[in-house]
Amino acid sequence: MSAASTMSRPDSTTAPAAQRTKRARSDWTRTRATGFMLIASLLVLWEISARWGWIVSENWPPVTQIAKALIEALSSGELSIALLATLYRVMLGFAIGSVVAVALGILLGRNRLADRLIRPPIEVLRTMPGPAILPPLILLLGVEEALKVTVVSLASFFPVFVNAYAAVRGTDSTLLNTARTFRLGRSVTLRRMLLPAALPSIMAGMRISISIALTVAVIAEMVSGASGVGYFLMSMQYAMRADVMYAAVALLAVVGYALNRIFVAVEGRVLFWRSR
């Protein structure tokens, strides 16, 4: 069972329908508005604490300054270029990791021997914390593109693999028996039966992976970077421009949310047969 990756709303009360609708329309406390108000009030608190000197530090600039810095950094292109570099790594690493994960998931799910031989190292690697693998990878791959894409691929690999493997293993035996009865060849069985059946699980895994890919790419850039948002964050910190740094962090939050939403939309189109 894979962990869910987004939150979904609890049901409304079991009151009669008409009453429910009437209450819902006038009951603004039941909309996300309260949540946004909470965020807004926290930001106001931040602004006041910075401007009135409750918290004095270069690392605590007022929110309005951060917003200004964000607009400047984006329009000057500095942050936009960094973002593009990061997204390139994210996409490439995610693609490599996912493709390998699906391929291995199918192979290991179907072939017992391959499963027994190849899965133990994968399991060990999965439980290894990523940051611990980073130092030896830095030694081996240097601090160039290869390192970052490898790290992102590794991180993207595991959620997709776990799901693909479980899905292939759990494929309804009726489907497989039908395929065998009709003497469908291996590749047709694969394309027409296995993949579509496993696809929902795989996509769920990919949705988790894309967020992880973004986070890992940024972390890799922070630790050993020369370009990208992670490196931009660090260099702004060291240039004593914390407002620009926080602006980049805010941008990351927005990009992360957007990636997630885009993926959900893509998932909806690909898995068109599923009613959501």
Partner 1 sequence: MKCYARALSPGLRMMAGMAIGAWFCAHAAAQTPLRVTYLPTLDAVPMFMAMEKGYFKEEGVVVQATPSQGGAAAIPGLMGGAYDITFSNVVSTLLAQQQGFKLRVIAAGTKNDPSAKPVTGLLTRKADGIKSGKDFEGKSIAVNTRNGVIWLFARSWVKKTGGDPSKVMFKEVPFPQMGDALRNKQVDGIFTISPFADSATKEGDVVRAADPYTEVQPTADIGHFVTTEDFFQKNQEATRKFGRALRKGVQYVNANFKAPETQLLISTVTKLTPEIVATLPQMVMPERVYPEEYAKTMALMVDAGLLRSGVDLSSMIDPAQTK
Partner 2 sequence: MRSWTIRVLTSVISFTVIFAVWQCASTLRWVNPVLLPPPSAIAPVAAALLVTGEFWGPLVQTLWLLAVGYAVACVSGVLVGLLVGRSERAYCLLEPLIEAIRPLPKPALVPIFFLFLGPGSAMKITMVSLAAFFPVLINTMQGVRGVDRVLLDTARTLGLSSFSLTSKIILPAALPLILSGMRVSLGLGLVLVILAEMLEADSGVGFQILDLQRSFQVKEMYSWIFVLAVAGVSLNSAFEWVEKRLTPWHSR
- Residues within the interface to partner 2 (CB under 8 A): 1-12, 29-36, 38-39, 42, 55, 57, 59-60, 113, 116-118, 120-121, 123-124, 126-133, 135-136, 138-140, 211, 214-215, 218-219, 222, 230, 233, 237, 242, 245, 248-249, 252-253, 256-257, 260
Question: Angle 229-238/242-270 helices, nearest 10 degrees?
Answer: 170
Please report how close the Cβ of residue 58 comes to partner 1 at its closest, in angstroms.
7
Please report how close the Cβ of residue 203 comes to partner 1 at its closest, in angstroms.
36
Please report how close the Cβ of residue 213 comes to partner 1 at its closest, in angstroms.
22
In this structure, the number of other CB atoms found within 10 A of the CB of residue 238 comes to 9
Site for partner 1 in 143-202 (CB under 8 A): 143-144
Site for partner 1 in 50-69 (CB under 8 A): 56-59
The reply on whether position 76 binds partner 1 by CB under 8 A is no
167, exposed or middle or buried, with CB in 10 Å at 0-12, 13-18, 19+? buried
The two tokens of residue 11 are 């049901």
Contact of 246 with 60, CB cutoff 8 Å: no
Query: By C-beta, is 184 or 234 nearer to partner 1?
Result: 234
Among 141, 166, 175, 197, binds partner 1 (CB under 8 A): 141
| Distance (Å, whole) CA 19 – CA 13 | 10
Please report how close the Cβ of residue 136 comes to partner 1 at its closest, in angstroms.
10
| DSSP line for 117-176 | HHHHHHHHHHHS-HHHHHHHHHHHHTTSHHHHHHHHHHHHHHHHHHHHHHHHHT--HHHH
The option from partner 1, partner 2, none interacting with 257 (CB < 5 to 8 A, set by class) reads partner 2
Give the CA-trace dihedral at 36, 275, 180, 161, to 10 degrees: 0
Binding-site size for partner 1 (CB under 8 A) equals 25
Binding site for partner 1 (CB under 8 A): 56-59, 138-144, 223-226, 231, 234-242
